């Protein structure tokens, strides 16, 4: 939707380093990572916490102890408890949804400054008991006498303690995202070689961006336990197609083409952006040159078009603005899998592949030039804020005018947004 009302600018962005699951963040919780990002954003922009009107964070890996993770994160970061905070969840575009909610609050005059983004810690996944055991334990809470409690204990069986293994799968189809993407790779005829080459490109671009100082500018170093973490740990600058080609299929063991090398890895991290009304940004001396022009969300069949969100959302947002793909100077597409990005690129330029309108070919010289989720990492609830921050920073660095941001998500969802540098 192209909005009317107050002009909304991206006044800043900040993220923690993104780390592989079960590495240095393994003892932390998502709210703590969110707090690091929020505190880092305020320090980077110089904004007083009392100026913030709202905090909105997305998350996917929910922890019952911190159900409203946005609230816990902002309090941990030291923000006043008078600031409302809310948590949203929309799979891999949870941060995108948080950001658009913040945009609408400012657009309609309900807020002037909003911190929005997301946080996730896959190292802190709650492992539930199976349904039958859950019911037993819940019923035990009603037991009052010692005899009843002893009787309950002797009624338990070893199987009651077997955990329900977490699985990143579509509830409606039962397929993991990797299994579904393998099918999509076959449908769109995306070769293993093309996937490996794209994944290696992502790692090399991210490594170059780190060395050039681009990615460090969007990272807030994290300090805890006597250590300082200031760099993503999934980027492999020495990655080659030859090395990637040696890995075995990760999902379809027989004839699959998706491997650990050309798929995004489970990650921990948080990312936030500072959204502001143009007037407030200028009043506080914040960056006001990158404006949110339009955004939309789409949904398709999770069975047949699970990961084609960018191909469906991008034409809509461009049409709303009367712009062409060729007008975009910066393009940031979430890299869940190399095959997913390549399939969307094909779909955007070939009418016979989807029911969607085609918009032409993407110039890869404009695409994810500072790396992407395949190399930097993909904390589910945080990636959307990383994309917005990177797109805004690239517009400024490259002196471009328009940026297109597009993402897929579980459930067959998609998101696209256009930023404009004034």
pLDDT digits (tens, 9 = 90+) for 32-59: 999 999 999 999 999 999 999 999 999 9
- What lies within 8 Å, CB to CB, of 190 at 6+ separation is 184, 257, 338, 339, 342, 343, 346
- Asked if the 177-215+293-421 domain carries CATH number 3.40.47.10, the reply is yes
Pairing relationship of beta strands 402-409 and 113-121 according to DSSP bridges: unpaired
**12/271 Cα distance (integer angstroms):** 11
Pairing relationship of beta strands 54-58 and 85-88 according to DSSP bridges: parallel
Pairing relationship of beta strands 19-20 and 267-277 according to DSSP bridges: antiparallel
Question: Can you give the pLDDT at residue 415?
Answer: 98
Question: Can you give the pLDDT at residue 166?
Answer: 63
Question: Can you give the pLDDT at residue 4?
Answer: 66
Q: Which sequence positions are flagged as catalytic? A: 92, 408
Question: Can you give the pLDDT at residue 169?
Answer: 77
Question: Can you give the pLDDT at residue 252?
Answer: 92
Question: Can you give the pLDDT at residue 162?
Answer: 66
For residue 302, give the nearest of 166, 176, 120 by alpha carbon: 176
Question: Can you give the pLDDT at residue 164?
Answer: 63
Q: Are 277 and 310 in contact (CB under 8 A)?
A: no
Question: Quick check: pTM over 0.85?
Answer: yes
- 322-335: burial string, b at 16+ Cβ within 10 Å, e else: ebebeebbbbbbbb
Domain boundaries defined on the chain = 177-215+293-421
User: Which phi-psi region, left, alpha or beta, contains residue 297 (left: φ > 0; alpha: ψ -120 to 50)?
Assistant: beta
Give every residue of the chain whose pLDDT is below 70, as ranges: 1-4, 126-129, 133, 136-137, 160-168, 351-356
Alpha helices (H) in 212-302, listed in sequence order:
241-244, 278-284
Question: Can you give the pLDDT at residue 98?
Answer: 98
Write the DSSP string, 10-71.
Answer: EEEEEEPPPEETTSTTTT--HHHHHHHHHHHHHHHHT--GGG--EEEEE-SS--GGGSSHHH
Question: Can you give the pLDDT at residue 127?
Answer: 61
User: Which phi-psi region, left, alpha or beta, contains residue 103 (left: φ > 0; alpha: ψ -120 to 50)?
Assistant: alpha
Q: Which residues pair with 406 in a beta bridge?
A: 333, 416
% the chain with pLDDT above 70 = 93
């Amino acid at each position: 939707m192209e909005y009317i009302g107050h002009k909304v600018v991206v006044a800043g962005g900040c993220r923690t380093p993104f780390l592989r699951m079960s590495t240095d963040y393994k003892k932390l919780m998502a709210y703590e990572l969110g707090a690091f990002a929020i505190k880092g954003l305020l320090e980077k922009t110089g904004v007083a916490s009392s100026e913030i009107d709202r905090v909105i964070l997305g998350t996917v890996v929910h922890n019952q102890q911190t159900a409203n993770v946005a609230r816990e994160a902002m309090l941990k970061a030291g923000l006043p408890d008078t600031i409302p905070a809310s948590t949203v969840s929309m799979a891999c575009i949870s941060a995108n949804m948080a950001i658009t909610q913040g945009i609408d609050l400012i657009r309609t005059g309900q807020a002037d400054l909003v911190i929005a983004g997301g946080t996730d810690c896959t190292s802190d996944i709650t492992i539930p008991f199976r349904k039958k055991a859950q019911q037993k334990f819940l019923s035990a809470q009603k037991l009052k006498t010692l005899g009843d409690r002893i009787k309950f204990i002797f009624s338990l069986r070893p199987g009651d303690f077997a955990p329900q293994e977490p699985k990143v799968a579509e509830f409606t189809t039962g397929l993991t995202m990797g299994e579904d993407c393998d099918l999509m790779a076959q449908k769109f005829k995306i070769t293993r070689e093309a996937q490996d080459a794209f994944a290696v490109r992502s790692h090399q671009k991210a490594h170059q961006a780190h060395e050039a100082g681009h990615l460090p500018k969007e990272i807030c170093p994290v300090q805890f336990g006597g250590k300082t973490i200031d760099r993503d740990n999934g980027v492999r600058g020495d990655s080659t197609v030859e090395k990637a080609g040696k890995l075995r299929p990760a999902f379809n063991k027989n004839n699959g083409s998706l491997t650990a090398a050309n798929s995004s890895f489970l990650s921990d991290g948080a990312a936030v952006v500072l959204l502001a009304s143009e007037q407030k940004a200028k009043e506080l001396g914040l960056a006001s040159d990158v404006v949110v022009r339009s955004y939309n969300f789409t949904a398709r069949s999770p069975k047949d078009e699970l990961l084609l969100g960018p191909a469906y959302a991008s034409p809509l947002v461009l049409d709303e603005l009367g712009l062409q793909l060729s007008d975009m100077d910066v393009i940031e597409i979430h890299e869940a899998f190399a095959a997913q990005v390549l399939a969307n690129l094909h779909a955007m330029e070939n009418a016979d592949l989807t029911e969607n309108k085609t918009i032409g070919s993407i110039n890869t010289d404009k695409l994810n030039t500072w790396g992407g989720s395949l190399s930097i990492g993909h904390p589910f609830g945080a990636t959307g804020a990383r994309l917005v921050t990177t797109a805004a920073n690239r517009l400024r660095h490259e002196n471009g005018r328009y940026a297109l941001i597009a993402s897929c998500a579980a459930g067959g969802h998609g998101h696209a947004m256009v930023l404009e540098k004034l």
